[in-house]
Amino acid sequence: MPRLLLVDGSSYLYRAFHALPDLRNTAGEPTGAIRGVLSMLRRLTADYKAEYRACVFDAKGKTFRDDLYPDYKANRPPMPDDLRAQVAPLHEAIQAEGWPLLCIEGVEADDVIGTLTHQAAELGWEVVISTGDKDLTQLVRPGVLWVNTMSEQVLDEAGVEAKFGVPPARIIDYLTLVGDTVDNVPGVDKCGPKTAVKWLTQFGDLDTLVARADEVGGKVGENLRKHLDFLPLGRQLVTVDTAVPLPVTPEGLSPAARDRDRLTELYGRLEFRSWLADVETDGGEETGPAADAAPEGEIERHYVAILDTAALDDWLARIEAAELTAFDTETTSLDPMQARLVGMSFSVEPGHAAYLPLAHAYPDAPAQLALDAVLDRLRPWLESDTHRKVGQNLKYDAHVLANHGIRLGGIAHDTLLESYVLESDRTRDMDSLAKRHLGLTTIPYTDVCGKGAKQIGFAEVALEQATEYAAEDADVTLRLHRHLYPLLAAEPGLEALYREIEMPVLPVLLEMETNGVLINDFQLASQSEELGRRLHALEQQAVELAGQPFNLGSPKQLGEILFGKLELPVVKKTAKGQPSTDEEVLQKLAEDYPLPKLLLEYRMLSKLKSTYTDKLPLSVNPSTGRVHTSFSQAVAVTGRLASSDPNLQNIPIRTEEGRRIRAAFIAPKGHRLVSADYSQIELRIMAHLSGDAGLLKAFANGEDVHRATAAEIFGLAPDEVGTEQRRYAKVINFGLIYGMSAFGLARELGL
């Protein structure tokens, strides 16, 4: 079945301009939005193979909506000069990359996309609409997907209903009620998403709601009746036209060949060095810093197993003479603090690698070199800081060697981190990297070890098969480094980030994970018992409020009690059409009903008990008596660390119960725990970026910004502001920065 990929170029243009740093070439020309949009297009073509595609932009001038409503988009500021300067070269680059580009006078991009979607769907094609504009979710139907690359959301019909509370067929009604602030289309005053969903769930559609408007009570009902005359116009404004005359049909949107001469000139002037190198080497469009590479063809393989001292001597001489060696371990466990060596692999030249088995144990397994003797022989090389190594997640391998009393030295490069700096929003496992950047399909772990109940340990894998798998890991790691690092080197800012921040952080995290943290088992056990008693009491109260026994952990039974027996209003539905009982729904219902409020407390305490007071003591390493979390530096797009196994980042602090759990983390005798944090780092960045005089002055004078905000809100002197008032102000400050809605702010503040 043919696929049509439609990209809302105008949406991407503004998002890239505002989301990315102010990048410029040496001539001072702005380039950030161009690079951002092209990166998104490259990613899309890698993720969604399509025989037909188009990038659609709004044209200058008015459309029929301006004639209908003169205030349409009247609140939009003029396009910034730095953004306007990037439009023409961006259009040129998109076309030079082979993309059909549509910019039709008098027709909005949404309507072009809507018409092409309708035409392609009528042909029986699949359609992928890539945009950040929620209006276009009204086009979703069987075979039509809505994709947001920034948030990585992919919505089909069920996904639209799960996100907005109404199916695609009701999105127009939904938007008519809530309005569209971006396009300056007013909705019903005080009618937010929840109210709109409630009305459409109750009445079915907008026409029925209008006909029965007198049945809607309260202030918002009055607002609805006042807005009735505008609703037909509002509906016209938010409806995507799917029948506008176009100079092209879906069949005419085949991509063209890349124009290498134009791209060479453009990327040279814009100073997109890595992409320029890609063009000059005749790379395909899906190469570059954040996209797929053209396949290399069949991988050259010269893999050997090291089974005797002569082979070990030979490979030891190779790695000692090499400028850089790819190194990998095979182990008994994914838990780095528990894992023991099964074998090691090395590669110093692409296509050539060796596997050193040390602990394979299965019937008729070949004799292997003694583990302790091999480690003694390799220790000088492994611990040497002058013998440089590259690996894929070397922090894990360093932990494994530490379990055997060896400190891994010479950590020069890590392909996991190279990929993270280059493409922080992509998957970074070796199989994905090899496929994306080298065009290689690697041997999956499940092919050698199986899966599920039949999975075996690597020590049980036959040596011939283990050699192919393990040696390939080292070989592919070396190939990846040789591919990825030049891309980093072509971008001085990225290379500096990799060399000066990410790589130096690796050994710090290694030491933090190795040290672990002490916990007070007795305190957690005591709190767990107390939480158990409170949960039992809440269960009894819930049964009394419901009038019958039920399982508080069952969404189905809970829905039957809340919306069946007690007849509470349905706030939103699940993708399967059932009334939702998620936290957001319970918070809304808790404003007026006692059982949802009790259920929220029950869920909070139950999570604390199962996740922390019961589970943390089980995470204590018996060898060290400490909890050893894993810190991942290559997960969050923002660069923030992630903690897992166990997650120690999300232990609550706002509740007394959460603070007691935190108190269970203790220092050894003679030591203290020190808590350190950046002082209002986001607000400082905001002050710098915005140039706000008040914020800059507050920081220059060493004032507490949250306290100052609280003083202004509550009409107090700064020294009269209490802890809870300062917390409110902090939520407000950060809520404004991150675009929190009024509903979200009220929820965070418990109002």
Radius of gyration of the chain (CA): 30
Helix (H/G/I), strand (E/B), else coil: 146: strand
Other beta carbons less than 10 A from residue 515's beta carbon: 11
**Cα–Cα distance measured from residue 288 to residue 281, given in angstroms and rounded to the nearest whole number:** 11
Per the DSSP assignment, residues forming a β-bridge with 326 are 347, 390
Return the closest-CA partner of residue 627 out of 662, 665, 598.
665
Residue whose token pair is 């009269």:
720
Residue 571's H or E segment, with its range, is none
* Confidence at residue 424, expressed as pLDDT on a 0 to 100 scale: 86
Calculate ∠ Cα 673-674-680, nearest 5°. 145
**Structure tokens, 680:** 């209002």
Question: What is the maximum span of the chain, computed from C-alpha positions, in angstroms?
Answer: 92
**Structure tokens, 92:** 């040129």
* Confidence at residue 750, expressed as pLDDT on a 0 to 100 scale: 67
Q: What DSSP state is assigned to residue 573?
A: B
**Cα–Cα distance measured from residue 45 to residue 456, given in angstroms and rounded to the nearest whole number:** 38
Helix, strand, coil content of the chain in percent (nearest 5): 50, 10, 35
Residue 318's H or E segment, with its range, is helix 309-321
**Cα–Cα distance measured from residue 212 to residue 121, given in angstroms and rounded to the nearest whole number:** 35
**Structure tokens, 388:** 């440089």
Q: What DSSP state is assigned to residue 389?
A: E
Return the closest-CA partner of residue 198 out of 562, 567, 571, 564.
571
Question: Do 351 and 300 meet the contact criterion of CB atoms below 8 Å apart?
Answer: yes
Residue whose token pair is 């009902």:
221
**Cα–Cα distance measured from residue 477 to residue 442, given in angstroms and rounded to the nearest whole number:** 11
Q: Is the peptide bond before 193 cis (omega within 30 degrees of 0)?
A: no
Q: What is the pTM of this model?
A: 0.61
pLDDT means over runs of 10, the chain (751 residues): 93 81 84 88 85 94 90 85 93 95 94 96 95 94 89 86 93 94 89 93 94 91 93 95 94 93 92 78 43 46 94 96 97 94 97 97 94 98 97 98 97 97 89 91 92 92 95 97 90 90 97 96 94 96 94 92 92 82 90 94 93 93 93 86 89 85 94 86 86 83 85 85 88 79 69 66
Calculate ∠ Cα 306-310-312, nearest 5°. 45
* Confidence at residue 747, expressed as pLDDT on a 0 to 100 scale: 65
Return the closest-CA partner of residue 103 out of 203, 248, 209, 312.
248
**Cα–Cα distance measured from residue 85 to residue 70, given in angstroms and rounded to the nearest whole number:** 28
> Is the sign of the CA dihedral 64, 70, 71, 74 positive or negative?
positive
**Structure tokens, 633:** 């530096």
> Is the sign of the CA dihedral 448, 454, 458, 463 positive or negative?
negative
Task: State the number of CA atoms in the 13 A half-sphere of 318 facing the CB.
Answer: 17
Question: Do 414 and 394 meet the contact criterion of CB atoms below 8 Å apart?
Answer: yes
- Structural domains present in the chain: 3-160+241-252 (3.40.50.1010), 302-515 (3.30.420.10), 519-666 (1.20.1060.10), 681-749 (no CATH)
* Confidence at residue 281, expressed as pLDDT on a 0 to 100 scale: 60
